[in-house]
Structure 1
Amino acid sequence: MQVKLFDSELQVMNILWEEGDMTAKQLSQILNERIGWNKNTTYTVIKKCIKKEAIERIEPNFICHPIIRKEQIQEQETTELIDKIFNGSKSLLFASLLDKKKMSASEIEKLKQIVKDLE
């Protein structure tokens, strides 16, 4: 199932992925503290996530449960980025990332291991 989440919806999902199931009220309080959203904004975004089947509403107490996994969204977003910006080329994406940032020896070793595991 492909679900396109906007930035506001990802804010909600990230909290649920980090913290697990919680009530809409708790979610609203966290989002108010972190980014200043009011209750109505939070509930509107939660309802959009429910409509997209990213969140399941469990009663009583309007408990929000993430249906989709973070890894699923990461994979979708990465694939979309590669297709849209790099014409489907993973190597161009990596070349772009590696060209713009200094990497530690540890990061370089991790990348070497990832490539080795793919062989």
Structure 2
Amino acid sequence: MNVKLFDSEQKVMEVLWREGNLHAGQIAEILKEEIGWNRNTTYTVIKKCIEKGAIERQEPKFFCKTLITREQIQKAETNELINKLFDGSKMQFFSAFLSEDKLSKEEISELKELVNKLK
């Protein structure tokens, strides 16, 4: 899965991930309330998501079904960031990420647990 979503496409996907599969008109109403988009803007962005394979259009009434999960996008975006800024090194990424802020004892414990699961 290698779908790159732009910010506008991410907004449509966030609605679908949060609310479940919806008709395009329902998505348009939600985004009008949340961020002020008009119906045409929402429909244009939905069509871009369909072209990218993130959403499937089903009849009747332009029913939109997600084809990718939030986790798939998070993983792809994270990998892209690590490749772009850290030469693909997860160690460099974590080192840079964790060096700026102090972690709580609970966060350190959770990270240790995660590392132990990966062993």
Which amino acid is 2:85 matched to? Answer: I
Partner of 1:57: 57
Q: Trace 1:15-94 onto structure 2 (pairs within 5 A).
A: 15-94=15-94
C-alpha distance in 2, partners of 1:34/1:52?
24
Residue segments in structure 1 that go unaligned for 5+ positions in a row? none
Q: Percent identity?
A: 57
Q: What secondary structure, in the 3-state scheme, does the structure 1 residue paired with 2:2 have?
A: coil
Give the partner amino acid of 1:89.
S
Secondary structure of the residue that 1:34 maps to in structure 2? helix
Distance in 1 (CA, whole Å) between partners of 2:21 and 2:56 is 10
SS at match of 1:115: helix
The 3-state SS of whatever aligns with 2:108 is: helix
Q: Deviations over 1:45-94 (max 9, x none)?
A: 00000111110111112111101121111111111100000111101111
- Between the aligned partners of 2:31 and 2:93, the Cα distance in structure 1 is 32
- 2:98 match: secondary structure: helix
Partner SS for 2:87: coil
Q: How many residues align?
A: 119
**SS of residue paired to 2:65:** strand
Match of 1:11 in 2: 11
- The aligned amino acid for 1:45 is V
